[in-house]
Structure 1
Amino acid sequence: MEEGPKKHLKEWLLAQVDSGAFEGLRWEDQAKTMFRIPWKHAAKKDYKETDDAALFKAWALHKGKHMEGKDRANPTVWKTRLRCALNKSTDFQMVPELSQLDISEPYKVYRIRQDGGPSSQAESPQRKDSMTIRVKTSSWSPGFQEIEESFQACEEEPEQKDQPNELIRDHMYCEPTGKKSPTQHSAWLTFCSSIHTISDFRMQVTLLYHGHSVMRCTTKSPEGCFILHGRGPLGSERIYGPCTAQQLFFPSPNSFHASSYMVEAINRLLCHLERGVLLWVAPDGVFIKRFCQGRVYWSGPMAPNADQPNKLEREKTFKLLDTSIFLNDLQNCLQGKGTPPLYRIELCFGEEYPDPTTPKTTKLVMVQVVPMFAVDLLQRLSLDEMKNTTDLPNTNTEKTEKVHPAGRPL
């Protein structure tokens, strides 16, 4: 028997919010202008497919992209399908400042757009939450069923018909050109597979006093890291559960070879950096949340100003790097259509930054952050000749390196 017409995304999704059938899927405000969607990563140790993938599976069933009892379960593809539908729809806009992806029960918040116009984010008008790079199968590329399935998940008919340019951008190809050796073929396959799912959440973090490196380490925790002086934010464990983010403490400047005046100035600044900042890498980018009283400024790929200070507001989540933009820039560079992608992030504590009138080597306290997935991709593609990869960090770094003696152990 032929089924009736399928509901479009907006009609279907809002009906699910109202139904209360999915745990965690609920309205965010009384006026019902925003709602939250549970968004737990499959790598979480408490992930349960029956609960955490239920909504994504329901959308796949509704669209006829999954047949119960016939098709194998594929939560990653189900999630990709709904995410891509949301990205393409002009009815919804993600609200990053209300979304929480760094807690034990993460979720995204979406606003229902009333004007029906193209969605935009405050962080970047060209921002997209995800980028799908397609690998064309050929005689040398067997076994790419899962990559093709996830691409097809983003290839379903758009909810709106007036976005051809955006849809074309989503369906770019990652395909080796010319005759290549088996080793080169393997490198390309590995590269495209890595792009398909960013799962390396490590960061190389370097702490600097007055332009001199005083500590360097590569973080390991998927929850990211606190960079702070004193103690981390407390009081939320009862609600969100314990935080397993790595803690990096600013070392004492007393052992730093500087004048007593400089040591005193750094110590005065560190007093305002208790609770610090929380940095983390997620599949869609690099994020930060400031908890300390002291002001924090930054520069990086998504900074609004290149020659003026960019301030981080307190207890507000900021996106410092967008994975989709990075991959898009990388793809263009590989095709000879652009410059190498930017991925380095700099934080300046207590002093305005960027500041074209003052060299950054004179700033009292700075932090440099490099997401390791970006480094790994560039290294695998042998792009060392790129001007911003001449001093790529070692992707195998595990131990904390203290260039000068530190007063507080990690």
Structure 2
Amino acid sequence: MDETAKTMRLREWMIAQIDSERYAGLTWENEDKTMFRIPWKHAAKQDYILNEDAALFKAWAVYKGKYREGSDRADPTTWKTRLRCALNKSTDFQEVPERSQLDISEPYKVYRIQAETEVSRNSESLQSESKTIIQTNQPLPDHRSSHNVQIGCSRETKIGEGGVNPREGVVRDHEYYWANTGTPQKVSSGHFSLVSPVTQISDLSVRVCLFYQGQLVVDVTSSTQDGCFILHGHVPLGNERIYGPCLAQQVLFPLPGVVPLPPGMTEAIGRLLHHLERGVLVWVAPDGVFIKRFCQGRVYWSGPLAQHTDRPNKLERDRTCKLLDTPIFLKELQDYLQGAGPKPRYEIDLCFGEEYPDAQPKTKKLIIAQVVPLFAVNLLLRCQTMGTEERPHRHTQDHGGGGRGLAAPHLPVLSNPGASS
């Protein structure tokens, strides 16, 4: 394989495989070549032929260095899972379930290739292994009014098998689909020079706290590159042929009886959990925090990029949404350290089955998941430690935690993320 081929993104790789006509069933779905069929036969079927039905999935595993012919055990289920996760987490692709045929002798899925986005791949960002703290040479545009929206990324921003390299530069220009307009908007990240020491942004772990009516029931930290699913139960065995096993960590909603609840609330949460079986997938990439909703139950959210703070923000099903933008967070952190702005927000609240935010306090919501990217917490702590003596105290209002109203345990690295310094 030549060096050019080795650097292909999933989008380019997949188009090349379709055009090669080497794989039975992998074909274009329309003349415009914006949709394609991918064979999706389950390995447990009697007529399953490993060298044919798993060929494409095997090719992806080989390409990503996850399978070596002759030395690794053949595992078609894992191969298929890797490519499925890569497609689902990539915002270059959108599954088209109404065109898929999964109950026929030769089942297939249909995916749409999203319109190509010009993305700057400036290598002048966090490529260095040295530890750095950012200082802006060119300020970001004011995002507080125009960029404070729910946005779904229109380019491949996934991590793990699909692969934004964690060491790839994160300070670059992006183009996202804005939820309130449905049209792409340019968000310039500006240019940063990197001086003096703090930790390089490479920590992709996320802390997840689950609450039933304000009571903490789960507190876990996920460090898997594929992110974590927040869901109830497991993918049913009958649907394994459709969804396959998941490599992402599973954060499970416990049964509501684990904590005492007001009359009727246990039953209400139990009914809601039935609609959260496929849950949501949350992952951290170098340029931000992302989510994709798979469950039938409605999910609402609040966080740094939420469009509204006084009325509900809904997550659309099967669409990737960006919850936190790293360049914006870094710029806000820079302002905070210079006394020119409040503490940057980094916590994200997910509300399942009920509109949020609204007039009802979140301690009254049936199910809340609080998501905290640990790179933001640790970076804020490091900067506070370094800058406490020097930073002017002009802004005393705190917008950092965003988690007030829930009895969430404080992160161990911060004595109180909801207090101003």
TM-score when scaled to structure 1? 0.55
What SS does the aligned partner of 2:176 have?
coil
Residue 360 of structure 1: aligned partner: 362
The counterpart of 2:343, out of the listed 312, 337, 340, is 340
Q: What is the identity, as a one-letter code, of the residue corresponding to 1:368?
A: Q
What SS does the aligned partner of 2:369 have?
strand
**For 1:39-188, what aligned pairs fall within 5 Å after superposition?**
46=66, 80-81=122-123, 96-97=153-154, 99=156, 101-102=158-159, 104-106=161-163, 120-123=175-178, 125=185, 127-128=187-188, 169-170=190-191, 172-175=192-195, 188=196
Query: How far apart in 2 are the matches of 1:353 and 1:234?
Result: 33
Query: How far apart in 1 are the matches of 2:280 and 2:152?
Result: 21
Higher strand share: 2
Residue 411 of structure 2: aligned partner: 393
Deviation at 1:102, TM superposition (A): 4.7
Query: How far apart in 1 are the matches of 2:121 and 2:328?
Result: 20
The counterpart of 2:215, out of the listed 201, 205, 212, is 212
Deviation at 1:310, TM superposition (A): 0.5
Query: How far apart in 2 are the matches of 1:343 and 1:203?
Result: 11
**For 1:8-47, what aligned pairs fall within 5 Å after superposition?**
23-24=13-14, 31=32, 46=66
Query: How far apart in 2 are the matches of 1:45 and 1:206?
Result: 34
Residue 99 to residue 240, structure 1, CA distance change in 2 (3 Å): farther
Q: Is the 8 A contact 1:105 1:240 kept in 2?
A: no
Q: Is the 8 A contact 2:300 2:355 kept in 1?
A: yes
Deviation at 1:47, TM superposition (A): 11
Residue 93 of structure 2: aligned partner: none
Residue 247 of structure 1: aligned partner: 250
- Per-residue CA deviations over 1:329-355 (Å, capped at 9, x if unaligned) read 111222222222111100000000010
Q: What is the identity, as a one-letter code, of the residue corresponding to 1:101?
A: K
Whether 1:379 and 2:381 are equivalent positions in the alignment is yes
Residue 307 to residue 101, structure 1, CA distance change in 2 (3 Å): same
Residue 277 of structure 1: aligned partner: 280
What SS does the aligned partner of 2:292 have?
strand
Higher helix share: 1
Query: How far apart in 1 are the matches of 2:327 and 2:241?
Result: 34
**Worse-superposed segment, 264-273 or 332-341:** 332-341
Query: How far apart in 1 are the matches of 2:219 and 2:174?
Result: 39
Query: How far apart in 2 are the matches of 1:95 and 1:275?
Result: 20
Q: What is the identity, as a one-letter code, of the residue corresponding to 1:382?
A: Q
| Backbone CA RMSD of aligned residues | 4.3
What SS does the aligned partner of 1:382 have?
helix
Unaligned runs of 5+ in 2: 20-27, 36-59, 69-119, 127-150, 166-172, 180-184, 389-395, 415-421
Query: How far apart in 2 are the matches of 1:378 and 1:47?
Result: 39
Residue 225 of structure 2: aligned partner: 222
Unaligned runs of 5+ in 1: 1-12, 35-39, 49-77, 85-93, 109-117, 132-168, 176-187, 397-410
Query: How far apart in 2 are the matches of 1:83 and 1:382?
Result: 23
Q: Is the 8 A contact 1:298 1:354 kept in 2?
A: yes
What SS does the aligned partner of 2:376 have?
helix
Query: How far apart in 1 are the matches of 2:33 and 2:250?
Result: 38
What SS does the aligned partner of 1:294 have?
coil
Deviation at 1:262, TM superposition (A): 1.1
Query: How far apart in 1 are the matches of 2:33 and 2:123?
Result: 24
Q: Is the 8 A contact 2:154 2:176 kept in 1?
A: no
Q: What is the identity, as a one-letter code, of the residue corresponding to 2:329?
A: F
- Per-residue CA deviations over 1:17-60 (Å, capped at 9, x if unaligned) read 9xxxx7456699864899xxxxx9xxx87499xxxxxxxxxxxx
Percent identity (aligned):
46
Whether 1:293 and 2:296 are equivalent positions in the alignment is yes
Deviation at 1:254, TM superposition (A): 1.4
Whether 1:324 and 2:379 are equivalent positions in the alignment is no
Q: Is the 8 A contact 1:127 1:325 kept in 2?
A: no
Residue 202 to residue 45, structure 1, CA distance change in 2 (3 Å): farther
Residue 395 to residue 80, structure 1, CA distance change in 2 (3 Å): farther
Query: How far apart in 2 are the matches of 1:232 and 1:82?
Result: 42
Query: How far apart in 1 are the matches of 2:163 and 2:238?
Result: 18
Q: What is the identity, as a one-letter code, of the residue corresponding to 2:178?
A: E
Query: How far apart in 2 are the matches of 1:235 and 1:224?
Result: 24
Residue 317 of structure 2: aligned partner: 314
Residue 95 to residue 217, structure 1, CA distance change in 2 (3 Å): closer
What SS does the aligned partner of 2:384 have?
coil
Query: How far apart in 2 are the matches of 1:244 and 1:324?
Result: 28
- Per-residue CA deviations over 1:83-131 (Å, capped at 9, x if unaligned) read 99xxxxxxxxx983564625623489xxxxxxxxx98533385634xx5
What SS does the aligned partner of 1:275 have?
coil
Q: Is the 8 A contact 2:207 2:372 kept in 1?
A: yes
TM-score when scaled to structure 2? 0.53
Query: How far apart in 2 are the matches of 1:46 and 1:126?
Result: 35
State how many pairs are aligned.
266
Residue 257 of structure 1: aligned partner: 260
Query: How far apart in 2 are the matches of 1:82 and 1:255?
Result: 50
Q: What is the identity, as a one-letter code, of the residue corresponding to 2:367?
A: V
Q: Is the 8 A contact 2:288 2:322 kept in 1?
A: yes
Q: What is the identity, as a one-letter code, of the residue corresponding to 2:370?
A: Q
Query: How far apart in 1 are the matches of 2:357 and 2:331?
Result: 26
Residue 120 to residue 173, structure 1, CA distance change in 2 (3 Å): same
Whether 1:302 and 2:318 are equivalent positions in the alignment is no
Query: How far apart in 2 are the matches of 1:233 and 1:317?
Result: 23
